[in-house]
Amino acid sequence: MVGVVPSRSIDSFKPVWVGWKIQEYTQKTTEIMPDSKSIIMAGYHVWDDMLELAIRKDQGWLYPGYLPLRTLEQAIANFLDVRGYKTAFPRLLSYKRLAQLAGFGNYGKNSLIISREFGPWIRLAAVLTNAEMAPDTPFEDDLCRDCDKCLKAWLLTKLTTANVWSASTSWTRRALDNMSYGLSMSPLSQRTLISCAWSARRLAHMERAPPISIGLAHPLTGKEMKEKHSMRK
Protein backbone atom coordinates (compact mmCIF):
# COMPACT_ATOMS: atom_id res chain seq x y z
CA MET A 1 0.00 0.00 0.00
CA VAL A 2 1.41 3.38 -1.01
CA GLY A 3 -0.14 6.84 -1.02
CA VAL A 4 0.88 10.51 -1.06
CA VAL A 5 -0.45 13.26 1.22
CA PRO A 6 0.35 17.00 0.79
CA SER A 7 2.07 18.43 3.85
CA ARG A 8 -0.48 21.22 4.06
CA SER A 9 -3.30 18.66 4.45
CA ILE A 10 -1.98 17.07 7.63
CA ASP A 11 -0.79 20.45 8.93
CA SER A 12 -4.39 21.70 8.83
CA PHE A 13 -5.26 19.45 11.78
CA LYS A 14 -4.75 20.44 15.40
CA PRO A 15 -1.99 18.67 17.35
CA VAL A 16 -3.10 15.62 19.33
CA TRP A 17 -1.51 14.02 22.37
CA VAL A 18 0.38 10.78 21.74
CA GLY A 19 0.56 8.53 24.82
CA TRP A 20 2.28 5.17 25.31
CA LYS A 21 6.09 5.68 25.15
CA ILE A 22 5.90 8.92 23.16
CA GLN A 23 4.23 11.31 25.62
CA GLU A 24 4.29 14.28 23.24
CA TYR A 25 1.97 16.22 20.96
CA THR A 26 2.05 15.63 17.22
CA GLN A 27 4.01 18.16 15.17
CA LYS A 28 3.50 20.15 12.00
CA THR A 29 5.55 18.98 9.03
CA THR A 30 7.23 22.40 8.90
CA GLU A 31 8.61 21.83 12.40
CA ILE A 32 10.41 18.78 11.06
CA MET A 33 11.29 20.09 7.59
CA PRO A 34 10.53 23.78 6.89
CA ASP A 35 10.26 23.27 3.09
CA SER A 36 8.32 20.00 3.27
CA LYS A 37 5.89 19.34 0.43
CA SER A 38 4.67 15.73 0.67
CA ILE A 39 4.37 12.70 2.92
CA ILE A 40 4.67 9.28 1.32
CA MET A 41 2.65 6.73 3.25
CA ALA A 42 3.43 3.02 2.99
CA GLY A 43 1.76 0.05 4.58
CA TYR A 44 1.71 -3.70 4.48
CA HIS A 45 -0.74 -6.46 5.36
CA VAL A 46 -0.09 -8.12 8.74
CA TRP A 47 -0.82 -11.59 7.38
CA ASP A 48 0.43 -13.70 10.31
CA ASP A 49 0.03 -13.57 14.11
CA MET A 50 3.81 -13.66 14.45
CA LEU A 51 3.81 -10.03 13.32
CA GLU A 52 1.62 -9.10 16.31
CA LEU A 53 4.11 -10.33 18.91
CA ALA A 54 5.98 -8.24 21.43
CA ILE A 55 9.29 -9.89 22.32
CA ARG A 56 11.02 -9.18 25.62
CA LYS A 57 14.81 -8.85 25.31
CA ASP A 58 16.78 -7.87 28.38
CA GLN A 59 15.13 -4.67 29.69
CA GLY A 60 13.43 -3.73 26.43
CA TRP A 61 10.88 -4.98 23.92
CA LEU A 62 11.15 -5.85 20.24
CA TYR A 63 8.23 -5.69 17.80
CA PRO A 64 8.81 -7.92 14.72
CA GLY A 65 5.79 -6.44 12.95
CA TYR A 66 7.55 -3.09 12.59
CA LEU A 67 10.77 -4.41 11.06
CA PRO A 68 9.41 -4.59 7.47
CA LEU A 69 8.36 -0.95 7.80
CA ARG A 70 11.93 0.18 8.43
CA THR A 71 12.91 -1.49 5.14
CA LEU A 72 10.07 0.26 3.29
CA GLU A 73 10.97 3.64 4.75
CA GLN A 74 14.64 3.31 3.88
CA ALA A 75 13.90 2.20 0.32
CA ILE A 76 11.65 5.23 -0.26
CA ALA A 77 14.18 7.60 1.34
CA ASN A 78 17.05 6.19 -0.74
CA PHE A 79 15.04 6.62 -3.95
CA LEU A 80 14.46 10.30 -3.18
CA ASP A 81 17.91 11.02 -1.72
CA VAL A 82 19.80 9.99 -4.86
CA ARG A 83 17.56 12.37 -6.84
CA GLY A 84 18.52 15.32 -4.69
CA TYR A 85 15.45 15.55 -2.42
CA LYS A 86 15.47 15.80 1.35
CA THR A 87 13.79 13.13 3.45
CA ALA A 88 12.92 12.56 7.10
CA PHE A 89 11.10 9.94 9.14
CA PRO A 90 8.35 11.94 10.91
CA ARG A 91 7.67 10.01 14.11
CA LEU A 92 5.46 12.75 15.53
CA LEU A 93 2.87 12.92 12.78
CA SER A 94 -0.48 11.15 13.06
CA TYR A 95 0.05 8.03 10.93
CA LYS A 96 -3.59 6.99 11.19
CA ARG A 97 -4.81 10.35 9.92
CA LEU A 98 -2.18 10.25 7.18
CA ALA A 99 -3.34 6.75 6.16
CA GLN A 100 -6.90 8.02 5.81
CA LEU A 101 -5.74 11.02 3.79
CA ALA A 102 -3.64 8.69 1.60
CA GLY A 103 -6.72 6.62 0.78
CA PHE A 104 -5.82 3.47 2.74
CA GLY A 105 -9.06 3.23 4.71
CA ASN A 106 -11.24 4.87 7.33
CA TYR A 107 -10.58 5.53 11.00
CA GLY A 108 -12.61 2.77 12.64
CA LYS A 109 -14.42 2.58 15.95
CA ASN A 110 -11.57 0.37 17.16
CA SER A 111 -9.20 3.35 16.67
CA LEU A 112 -7.50 1.56 13.79
CA ILE A 113 -7.38 2.19 10.06
CA ILE A 114 -9.71 -0.26 8.34
CA SER A 115 -8.87 -1.16 4.75
CA ARG A 116 -11.41 -2.64 2.33
CA GLU A 117 -8.87 -5.24 1.30
CA PHE A 118 -7.10 -6.12 4.55
CA GLY A 119 -9.44 -4.91 7.30
CA PRO A 120 -7.60 -3.49 10.34
CA TRP A 121 -4.57 -5.78 9.86
CA ILE A 122 -2.12 -3.26 8.43
CA ARG A 123 1.06 -1.51 9.62
CA LEU A 124 2.04 1.99 8.58
CA ALA A 125 5.20 3.91 7.72
CA ALA A 126 5.80 7.47 6.53
CA VAL A 127 8.53 9.46 4.80
CA LEU A 128 8.49 13.26 4.72
CA THR A 129 10.08 14.97 1.73
CA ASN A 130 10.45 18.35 0.01
CA ALA A 131 9.54 16.73 -3.31
CA GLU A 132 6.27 17.96 -4.81
CA MET A 133 4.14 14.90 -5.63
CA ALA A 134 0.64 14.28 -6.92
CA PRO A 135 -1.60 13.50 -3.91
CA ASP A 136 -3.93 10.55 -3.56
CA THR A 137 -7.65 10.86 -2.82
CA PRO A 138 -8.56 10.65 0.88
CA PHE A 139 -10.75 7.75 2.01
CA GLU A 140 -14.16 9.14 2.91
CA ASP A 141 -16.41 6.06 3.24
CA ASP A 142 -17.53 4.77 6.65
CA LEU A 143 -16.79 1.03 6.70
CA CYS A 144 -18.02 0.63 10.29
CA ARG A 145 -21.50 2.03 9.78
CA ASP A 146 -23.77 0.57 12.50
CA CYS A 147 -21.36 -2.24 13.44
CA ASP A 148 -20.09 -2.18 17.02
CA LYS A 149 -18.55 -5.66 17.35
CA CYS A 150 -15.17 -4.27 18.36
CA LEU A 151 -16.71 -2.11 21.10
CA LYS A 152 -18.58 -5.08 22.54
CA ALA A 153 -15.45 -7.23 22.35
CA TRP A 154 -13.43 -4.51 24.06
CA LEU A 155 -15.91 -4.24 26.93
CA LEU A 156 -16.26 -8.02 27.31
CA THR A 157 -12.49 -8.57 27.30
CA LYS A 158 -11.99 -5.69 29.74
CA LEU A 159 -14.48 -7.22 32.17
CA THR A 160 -13.40 -10.86 31.88
CA THR A 161 -9.62 -10.43 31.77
CA ALA A 162 -8.98 -7.34 33.91
CA ASN A 163 -8.27 -9.25 37.13
CA VAL A 164 -6.59 -12.22 35.46
CA TRP A 165 -4.39 -10.08 33.22
CA SER A 166 -3.32 -7.71 35.99
CA ALA A 167 -2.40 -10.65 38.22
CA SER A 168 -0.66 -12.65 35.52
CA THR A 169 1.24 -9.63 34.22
CA SER A 170 3.22 -9.26 37.43
CA TRP A 171 3.96 -13.00 37.42
CA THR A 172 4.95 -12.89 33.76
CA ARG A 173 7.29 -9.97 34.32
CA ARG A 174 9.00 -11.74 37.23
CA ALA A 175 9.46 -14.82 35.06
CA LEU A 176 10.78 -12.78 32.15
CA ASP A 177 13.37 -11.15 34.38
CA ASN A 178 15.11 -14.51 34.44
CA MET A 179 14.83 -15.11 30.69
CA SER A 180 16.62 -13.71 27.65
CA TYR A 181 13.42 -13.53 25.64
CA GLY A 182 9.72 -13.59 26.37
CA LEU A 183 6.55 -13.22 24.30
CA SER A 184 3.48 -11.15 25.02
CA MET A 185 0.22 -10.54 23.17
CA SER A 186 -2.40 -8.27 24.78
CA PRO A 187 -5.79 -10.06 24.87
CA LEU A 188 -7.53 -6.69 24.72
CA SER A 189 -5.94 -5.47 21.49
CA GLN A 190 -6.17 -8.90 19.86
CA ARG A 191 -9.87 -9.28 20.68
CA THR A 192 -10.80 -5.92 19.16
CA LEU A 193 -8.84 -6.78 16.01
CA ILE A 194 -10.28 -10.27 15.56
CA SER A 195 -13.85 -9.17 16.27
CA CYS A 196 -13.82 -6.58 13.47
CA ALA A 197 -16.22 -7.56 10.69
CA TRP A 198 -13.52 -6.69 8.14
CA SER A 199 -11.03 -9.12 9.69
CA ALA A 200 -12.46 -11.92 7.53
CA ARG A 201 -10.56 -10.33 4.63
CA ARG A 202 -7.32 -11.26 6.40
CA LEU A 203 -7.96 -15.01 6.27
CA ALA A 204 -8.75 -14.78 2.57
CA HIS A 205 -5.36 -13.18 1.92
CA MET A 206 -3.51 -15.70 4.09
CA GLU A 207 -3.98 -18.29 1.35
CA ARG A 208 -1.85 -16.16 -0.97
CA ALA A 209 0.71 -15.17 1.69
CA PRO A 210 4.35 -16.26 1.27
CA PRO A 211 5.54 -19.23 3.33
CA ILE A 212 7.38 -18.65 6.57
CA SER A 213 9.60 -20.85 8.72
CA ILE A 214 10.12 -20.29 12.43
CA GLY A 215 11.74 -23.33 13.98
CA LEU A 216 9.88 -25.57 11.56
CA ALA A 217 11.37 -28.40 9.56
CA HIS A 218 9.09 -27.51 6.67
CA PRO A 219 7.76 -23.97 6.05
CA LEU A 220 3.99 -23.49 6.16
CA THR A 221 2.18 -21.89 3.25
CA GLY A 222 -0.51 -19.30 3.83
CA LYS A 223 -3.21 -21.90 3.12
CA GLU A 224 -1.74 -24.33 5.66
CA MET A 225 -1.56 -21.56 8.27
CA LYS A 226 -5.23 -20.79 7.67
CA GLU A 227 -6.14 -24.46 8.20
CA LYS A 228 -4.12 -24.61 11.43
CA HIS A 229 -5.78 -21.38 12.59
CA SER A 230 -9.24 -22.91 11.96
CA MET A 231 -8.38 -26.06 13.91
CA ARG A 232 -7.37 -24.02 16.96
CA LYS A 233 -10.80 -22.41 17.22
> What per-residue confidence (pLDDT) applies to 94?
93
Per-residue pLDDT averaged across 189-211, rounded?
Answer: 67
Res 226: pLDDT: 45
What is the average per-residue pLDDT within 113-136?
A: 94
* pLDDT higher than threshold 70 for residue 173: no
pLDDT for position 13 = 94
pLDDT > 90: percent of the chain = 43
Q: Is residue 25 very low, low, confident or very high in pLDDT (cuts 50, 70, 90)?
A: very high
Classify 33 in phi/psi space as left (phi over 0), alpha (psi -120 to 50) or beta. Answer: beta
Q: Which residues pair with 42 in a beta bridge?
A: 2, 125
Please say whether the beta carbons of 1 and 43 come within 8 A: yes
Beta-strand relationship, 60-62 and 2-6: unpaired
Taking only the tens place, the pLDDT of each residue in 144-160 is 999 988 888 877 666 55
Span 31-62, pLDDT tens digits: 999 999 999 999 998 887 777 777 888 888 88
Q: CA-to-CA distance for 123 and 217, rounded, in angstroms?
A: 29
- Are the beta carbons of 193 and 120 closer than 8 angstroms? yes
Q: Is 56 helix (H, G, I), strand (E, B) or coil?
A: strand
pLDDT for 208: 55
Q: What is the pLDDT of residue 157?
A: 64
Q: Strands 60-62 and 54-57: what pairing?
A: antiparallel
CA distance 22 to 37: 25
- Give the CA distances from residue 184 to residues 49, 73, 181, in Å, rounded to whole numbers and listed in that order: 12, 26, 10
CA distances 95 to 40, 43, 123, Å, are: 11, 10, 10
The average pLDDT across 158-168 equals 48
Rounded distance between C-alpha atoms, residue 129 and residue 6, angstroms: 10
- The pLDDT value given to residue 232: 39
List CB contacts of 69: < 8 A, sequence separation 6 or more.
42, 44, 123, 124, 125
- What pLDDT digit, counting tens, does each position of 60-119 carry? 888 888 888 999 999 999 999 999 999 999 999 999 999 999 999 999 988 889 999 899
